[in-house]
Amino acid sequence: MIRVLIADDHSIVRQGLARILEKSGKMKIVAECDNGTDALNWLRKHNCDVAMIDISMPGLNGIDLLKHLQKEKPKLPVLILSIYAEDQYAVRLIKAGAYGYLTKGCAPSILMDAVNCVVNDRKKYISPAVADLLANEVSAPDGKLPHQTLSDREYQIFLQLASAKAVAEIARTMALSAKTISTYRTRIMEKMRLGNNQELMRYAIDNHLVE
């Protein structure tokens, strides 16, 4: 029986994933968490075969949770399941140690294949879309694009700014102060050599980072 932890702040998503996985009769949900902090605390005391985590969670988000797990449980396969398209986060998170990146719109069969791949075959699940992105990354010139110079936290805030979210809204979502988000915004602008939010949004659209 494959033991699965699900970390997602939406109960309906957790319930849907649980039904899909347990329907096979070969998987069991051993823990459901609505934030990254609870997931990390549970994993420090218990074991599972795969952790399925969302990127956007209050407090400790999926990106930071992945970093902690890489240090504390490096052999635990982590699958990222997100609303964000592959070209926004997949390559960055695969490089950071995730065993796979799936969008929440994927078919149940793909979800099952991914879990079996990372647990039974002990290898990363790379979808065709992610494989193309990784291939492009390898063939790209050595010079990085401006957004590729951002840290994971900076990149996460960059995408939210590019989606026209206000500083206060981003602060609430990430459980940070508005002053902290403003500091990150200034740092992002400096690193990317952008003058204002309009230039930032245009950059994101031109590079297909937001729709």
Do 159 and 132 share a structural domain? no
Q: Which domain holds residue 184?
A: 146-206
The answer to whether residue 211 is domain-embedded is no
The more confident residue out of 84 and 117 is: 117
At residue 23, the 3 state secondary structure works out as coil
Position 141 pLDDT exceeds 70 = no
> Domain total for the chain?
2
Give mean pLDDT, residues 97-112.
93
Residue at 5: amino acid letter: L
Distance between CA atoms of 8 and 57, rounded to whole angstroms?
7
Do 154 and 125 share a structural domain? no
Position 113 pLDDT exceeds 90 = yes
Do 162 and 122 share a structural domain? no
Position 143 pLDDT exceeds 70 = no
Give mean pLDDT, residues 78-105.
90
The answer to whether residue 115 is domain-embedded is yes
Do 166 and 112 share a structural domain? no
Q: Answer with the one of 122, 138, 154 that is the final residue of a domain.
A: 138
Position 47 pLDDT exceeds 70 = yes
pLDDT range class, residue 135, cuts 50, 70, 90? confident
Distance between CA atoms of 196 and 205, rounded to whole angstroms?
15
pLDDT at residue number 84: 84
Distance between CA atoms of 91 and 94, rounded to whole angstroms?
5
Do 131 and 152 share a structural domain? no
Q: Which pTM does this prediction carry?
A: 0.75
The answer to whether residue 86 is domain-embedded is yes
